[in-house]
């Protein structure tokens, strides 16, 4: 495909925005997208399938008063966009609102993309998966099944808004995921690990895929020895990395400005309040290159940033997009995100994490007489209105007398965001951020979740043992 | 089937097949296009109105017992050539597998009347907007309800064509719509959330007021909820919670999971895996089901497949690949499904139908005597593992005391394992309802004894 046929130009944006606003409106925006992807799947010791594809399209959003009208076309052609602008403008009755002429947003320089995944032979990608399979099976005869997936995507976007912005972004993401099934007698366990980033094929340099395979394998093997998890209220130590699901579920969703605007978040009206101990600081960082939830601009064309949402225990900020920010009298924090051109943008997290503390994680554990230790989490869910959250533990242990003791299986942690934030009593210095997918409004977007190892005074652990 | 297709999907499919003729292997094309409207109401106004006609096609190519897959949302000639050549070149890297093949054209498909209602597309936008506004209005007029975070009306008119060089050529269309809302009840500082929904094939079948009342009642009923003491209880799963459990169990009833060592039910056909009262069928032709269609996503006729009969495991769900791999008289049960044109099909349930018991929910509670009535489950995705059978999820609901549903409970977990959950089903009500959240499940409220509840 010729580069020149891609995207939209500022001149076309001016024409389409003028048409969209010809019967009035407060804001109009075009979002155009060109996406290509490739995925390779290995399962049951066979390279099962290679799949690739392309999608292209554009949407227009027209905002007037309380109402947003939105439509999209599965093509990037001028005629189709103008027709769509006409159709949306027909729903509005009034005098033409003149859009500002768009100007290209100058972004701070970004590091050059590394090795373009599309430039690497598919056989190399298949070989990585075969190496993952061999490493997992070679680790133990108890490994009964391995599924490994590689996928790459390149998404180019162009966003033009009637207040005069025109921005574009070129995003490359790669992911490797490994699922291992281990069995001993009648006991089956699974282990899952992912390596993902907003960067090129260099992510897989230096034996990284085999390390990921062995991590997933260890999880499954360790859990073969696990006892049923206890249940009831007890202290909980959450390990670094995926423990960050805690902030994401317990706090992050409730800071998304759509919930704040509708007053359906427990954090509404609480900026400036002390919500945690003074050693707790938390960020949403969409700007650091390479991280899974990072982009140069968000999906409304706003440059991304690192937003401090809790500073030394005080709630300092919300995560906003253009519309909700405006309703709150705040600028967009660059958190307007969408799954594709077929979706409306919403305020979404990028990469969220608690900032590092000062003590060493091993000392934190040694200082803990008895606790549930959640080494790895499998995801979670929250009701932002009540703050009630839940997350599943995929690798858990008991801490007894300052030592990590037996593995326990089948536990879910449940609590309330506001309460759990107040009951964090230590944060270690081993910050790590993991990749995941976040679902909201039926849209999935890549997010990073992270934290250093931390301890919560008390939380409800839901296992089968009473 | 009725309805004038705005785009001739069969013609697009034939075009793709023609472009594949110069390659030696077999080719299948899945083409879909839908028209969709989504309306959100907020505080008596339309908050957003989304309309679109998404489309796309996926190509599966088989040569030398190897798969290749490619898709495109672009239907230009250049893109159709590209998608065929991508699918062909994608076979080069995969390993050969003797069971890889496309299905042959079937003799006939069942007639499934009533899936397409032209009324859905003919209904004026104002009426659809009214449904979203009405659900919100009714909820807001109910006791304790402070806000309705979102009240939605959504519809889809979907068209699919599947064609292959093995002679499959089939076209289907259907309409579907729903209203859905989430209401918040407040008393002092406490807030509780309730969901309401209503589904149909055309807007005239939707009862927006009933959805509004349901959301309001569920939210208000939870006011004052607290954790209950940790212990082992008999739990009564409301239909939404029961559907969640059945949806997880069904993942282990796919032949793909069994063949690849990811099912705790492997090798157990003919054995007891559930209580006597538990009979589960996958019914792809049920006239009221949301996943009903004459054919599955590789063009194989849908059917009715018994999975568990009176507690005894009777079989697994198959697509063309898993049936070939099974050998010995195994046939596809018509359970190939895909999450849209971008992905190749895999084995998934169609409509899961659980046989119901007797009486109302209150009568079931009276029979149970004491326990916990579970209205909602949270964290299902992270807390239920269909491979290991582990099951530990967040929950909320009400205590059952003296045979009656009483005070509300929240911030509890329920934990067990899948086999115990199924074998400990002791009773069910006669209140079966279609639940659209974990696939498409028709289930009554279920009583299950000896479940660990963690709370205070």
Interval B297-352: pLDDT, tens: 999 999 999 999 999 999 999 999 999 999 988 999 999 999 999 999 999 999 99
The whole-angstrom separation of Cα A213 and Cα A195 is: 10
Per-residue pLDDT of chain A (466 residues; tens, 9 = 90+): 333 457 889 999 999 999 999 999 999 999 999 999 999 999 999 999 999 999 999 999 999 999 999 999 988 889 999 999 999 999 888 888 888 888 888 777 666 668 999 999 999 999 999 999 999 999 999 999 999 999 999 999 999 999 999 999 999 999 999 999 999 998 999 999 999 999 999 999 999 999 999 999 999 999 999 999 999 999 999 999 988 998 998 899 999 999 999 999 999 999 999 999 999 999 999 999 999 999 999 999 999 999 999 999 999 999 999 999 999 999 999 999 999 999 999 999 999 999 999 999 999 999 999 999 999 998 889 888 888 999 999 999 999 999 999 999 989 999 999 999 999 999 999 999 999 999 999 999 999 999 999 999 999 999 988 7
- ipTM score: 0.93
Backbone angles phi, psi at B66, to 5 degrees: -125, 145
**Hey, is B87 helix, strand or coil?**
helix
Contact predicate B152/B183, CB 8 Å:
no
Output the tens digit of pLDDT for each of chain B's 456 residues: 333 445 799 999 999 999 999 999 999 999 999 999 999 999 999 999 999 999 999 999 999 999 999 999 999 999 999 999 999 999 999 999 999 999 999 999 999 999 999 999 999 999 999 999 999 999 999 999 999 998 999 999 999 999 999 999 999 999 999 999 999 999 998 999 999 999 999 999 999 999 999 999 999 999 999 999 999 999 999 999 999 999 999 999 999 999 999 999 999 999 999 999 999 999 999 999 999 999 999 999 999 999 999 999 999 999 999 999 999 889 999 999 999 999 999 999 999 999 999 999 999 999 999 999 999 999 998 899 999 999 999 999 999 999 999 999 999 999 999 999 999 999 999 999 999 887 899 999 999 999 999 998
Structure tokens at B300: 């194989």
Q: Looking at the partner chain, which of B42, B232, B378 has a beta carbon nearest the beta carbon of A390?
A: B378
Chain B contact set for A342 (CB, 8 A): 52, 54
Residues with Cβ within 8 Å of B9's Cβ and at least 6 positions away in sequence, in order, are B31, B32, B33, B159, B160, B161, B171
Please tell me the distance from the alpha carbon of residue B354 to that of residue B311, in angstroms, as a whole number. Answer: 11
> Residue A381 and residue B147: Cβ atoms within 8 Å?
no
Q: Residue A113, Cβ neighbours under 10 Å: how many?
A: 16
A229 neighbourhood in chain B, CB within 8 Å: 392, 415
Say whether residue B312 is in contact with chain A using an 8 A CB cutoff: no
Q: Which residues of A115-129 are buried (b: 16+ CB within 10 A; e: fewer)?
A: bebeebebeebbebb
A434 in Cβ contact with A241 (< 8 Å)? yes
Strand partners, A182: A143, A189
Query: Is B86 near chain A, with CB under 8 Å?
Result: yes
User: What is the DSSP annotation of A363-416?
Assistant: HHHHT-SEEEEEEEEEEEEEETTTTEEEEEEEEEEEEETTEEEEEEESEEEEEE
How far from the centroid of its chain's Cα atoms is residue B321's Cα?
Answer: 22
- Residues near A335 by Cβ (< 8 Å), separated by ≥ 6? A256, A257, A284, A286, A298, A307, A319, A320, A321, A347, A348, A349, A350
Asked if B254 is an interface residue toward chain A (Cβ–Cβ < 8 A), one would say no
Judged by CB atoms closer than 8 Å, whether chains meet at A70 and B51 is answered as yes
DSSP element (H, E) containing B355: none
Q: What are phi and psi of A98, to 5 degrees?
A: -80, 120
Query: Which residues does residue B433 pair with via DSSP β-bridges, in sequence order?
Result: B443
pTM of the model: 0.94
Q: Which residues contact B380 (CB under 8 A, 6 or more apart)?
A: A381, B244, B247, B248, B393, B438
Closest Cα of chain B to A109: distance in Å? 32
SS3 (DSSP) at B366 = helix
- Best residue in B260, B379, B393, B424 for a mutation probing chain A (most A CBs within 10 Å): B379
Listed by number, the residues of chain B in 179-238 with a beta carbon closer than 8 Å to a beta carbon of chain A are 184, 191-193, 227, 230-232
**Cβ of B387 and A181 within 8 Å?**
yes
Q: Which domains, and CATH codes, for chain B?
A: 9-217 (3.30.2290.10), 223-245+356-454 (no CATH), 264-354 (no CATH)
Question: What is residue B437's predicted lDDT score, i.e. its pLDDT?
Answer: 83
B113/A contact by beta carbon, under 8 A: no
Say whether residue B344 is in contact with chain A using an 8 A CB cutoff. Answer: yes
CB contacts of A460 in chain B (<8 Å) are: 227, 411-413, 454-455
At residue A5, the pLDDT reads 53
């Amino acid at each position: 495909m010729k580069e020149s046929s891609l995207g939209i130009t500022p001149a076309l944006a001016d024409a389409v925005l003028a048409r969209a606003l010809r019967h009035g409106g407060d804001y109009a925006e075009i979002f155009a997208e060109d996406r290509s992807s490739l995925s390779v799947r290995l399962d049951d010791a066979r390279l099962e399938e290679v799949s690739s594809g392309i999608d292209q399209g554009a949407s227009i959003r027209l905002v007037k008063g309380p109402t947003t009208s939105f439509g999209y076309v599965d093509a990037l052609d001028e005629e189709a966009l103008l027709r769509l602008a006409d159709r949306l403008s027909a729903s509005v009755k009034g005098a033409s609102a003149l859009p500002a002429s768009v100007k290209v947003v100058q972004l701070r320089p970004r590091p050059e993309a590394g090795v373009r995944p599309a430039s690497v032979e598919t056989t190399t990608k298949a070989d990585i998966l075969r190496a993952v399979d061999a490493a997992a099976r070679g680790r133990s005869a108890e490994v009964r099944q391995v599924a490994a997936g590689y996928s790459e995507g390149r998404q180019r976007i162009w966003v033009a808004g009637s207040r005069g912005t025109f921005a574009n972004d070129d995003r490359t993401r790669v992911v490797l995921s490994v699922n291992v099934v281990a069995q001993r007698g009648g006991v089956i366990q699974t282990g899952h690990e992912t390596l993902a980033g907003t960067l090129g094929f260099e992510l897989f340099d230096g034996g990284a895929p085999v390390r990921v395979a062995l991590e997933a394998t260890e999880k499954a093997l360790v859990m073969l020895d696990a006892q049923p998890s206890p249940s009831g209220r007890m202290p909980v130590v959450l390990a670094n990395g995926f423990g960050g699901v805690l902030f994401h579920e317990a706090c992050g969703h409730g800071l998304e400005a759509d919930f704040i605007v509708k007053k359906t978040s427990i954090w509404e009206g609480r900026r400036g309040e002390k919500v945690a101990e003074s050693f707790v600081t938390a960020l949403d960082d969409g700007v650091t290159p390479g991280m899974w939830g990072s982009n140069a601009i968000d999906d409304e064309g706003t440059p991304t940033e690192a937003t401090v949402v809790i500073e030394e225990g005080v709630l300092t900020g919300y995560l906003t997009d253009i519309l909700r920010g405006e309703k709150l009298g705040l600028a967009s924090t660059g958190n307007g995100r969408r799954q594709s051109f077929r979706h409306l943008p919403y305020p979404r997290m990028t990469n969220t994490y608690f900032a590092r503390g000062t003590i060493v994680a091993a000392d934190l554990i040694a200082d803990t007489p008895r606790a549930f230790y959640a080494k790895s989490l499998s995801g979670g869910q929250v009701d932002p209105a009540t703050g009630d959250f839940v997350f599943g533990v995929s690798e858990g242990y008991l801490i007894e007398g300052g030592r990590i003791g037996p593995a326990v299986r089948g536990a879910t942690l449940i609590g309330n965001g506001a309460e759990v934030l107040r009951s964090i009593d230590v944060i270690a210095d081993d910050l790590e951020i993991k990749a995941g997918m976040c679902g909201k409004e039926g849209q999935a977007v890549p997010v990073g979740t992270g934290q250093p190892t931390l301890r919560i005074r008390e939380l409800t652990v839901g296992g089968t043992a009473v | 089937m009725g309805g004038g297709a705005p785009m001739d999907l069969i013609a697009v499919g034939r075009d793709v097949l023609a472009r594949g003729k110069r390659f030696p292997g077999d080719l299948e094309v899945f083409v879909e296009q839908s028209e969709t409207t989504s309306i959100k109401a907020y505080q008596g106004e339309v908050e957003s109105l989304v309309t679109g006609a998404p489309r796309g096609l996926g190509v599966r190519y088989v040569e030398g017992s190897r798969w290749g897959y490619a898709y495109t949302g672009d239907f230009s000639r250049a893109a159709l050539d590209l998608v065929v050549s991508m699918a062909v070149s994608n076979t080069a890297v995969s390993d050969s597998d003797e069971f890889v093949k496309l299905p042959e054209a079937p003799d006939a498909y069942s007639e499934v009347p009533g899936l397409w209602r032209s009324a859905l597309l003919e209904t004026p936008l104002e009426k659809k907007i009214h449904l979203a506004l009405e659900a919100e209005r009714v909820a807001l007029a109910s006791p304790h309800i402070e806000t309705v975070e979102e009240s939605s009306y959504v519809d889809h008119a979907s068209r699919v064509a599947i064609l292959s060089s093995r002679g499959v050529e089939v076209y289907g269309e259907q309409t579907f719509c729903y209203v859905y809302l989430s209401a918040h009840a407040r008393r002092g500082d406490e807030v509780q959330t309730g969901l309401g929904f209503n589904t149909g094939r055309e807007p005239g079948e939707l009862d927006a007021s009933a959805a509004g009342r349901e959301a309001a009642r569920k939210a208000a009923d939870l006011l004052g909820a607290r954790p209950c003491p940790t212990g082992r209880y008999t739990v009564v799963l409301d239909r939404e919670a029961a559907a969640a459990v059945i949806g997880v169990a069904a993942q282990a009833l796919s032949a793909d999971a069994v063949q690849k060592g990811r099912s705790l039910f492997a090798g157990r056909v003919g054995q007891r895996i559930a209580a006597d009262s538990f009979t589960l069928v996958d019914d792809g032709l049920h006239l009221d089901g949301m996943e009903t269609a004459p054919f599955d996503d590789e063009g194989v006729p849908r059917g009715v497949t018994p999975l568990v009969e009176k507690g005894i495991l009777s079989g697994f769900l198959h697509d063309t690949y898993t049936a070939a791999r099974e050998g010995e008289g195994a046939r596809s049960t018509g359970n190939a499904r895909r999450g849209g044109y971008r992905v190749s099909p895999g084995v998934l349930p169609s409509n899961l139908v659980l046989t119901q018991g007797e009486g109302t929910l209150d009568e079931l509670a009276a029979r149970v005597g004491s326990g916990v009535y579970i209205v909602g489950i949270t964290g299902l995705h992270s807390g239920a593992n269909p491979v290991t059978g582990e099951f530990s999820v967040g929950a909320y609901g009400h205590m059952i005391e003296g045979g009656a549903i009483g005070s509300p409970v929240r911030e509890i977990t329920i934990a067990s394992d899948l086999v115990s959950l199924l074998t400990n089903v002791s009773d069910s009500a006669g209140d079966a309802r279609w639940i659209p959240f974990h696939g498409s499940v028709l289930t009554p409220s279920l009583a299950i004894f000896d479940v660990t509840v963690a709370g205070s």
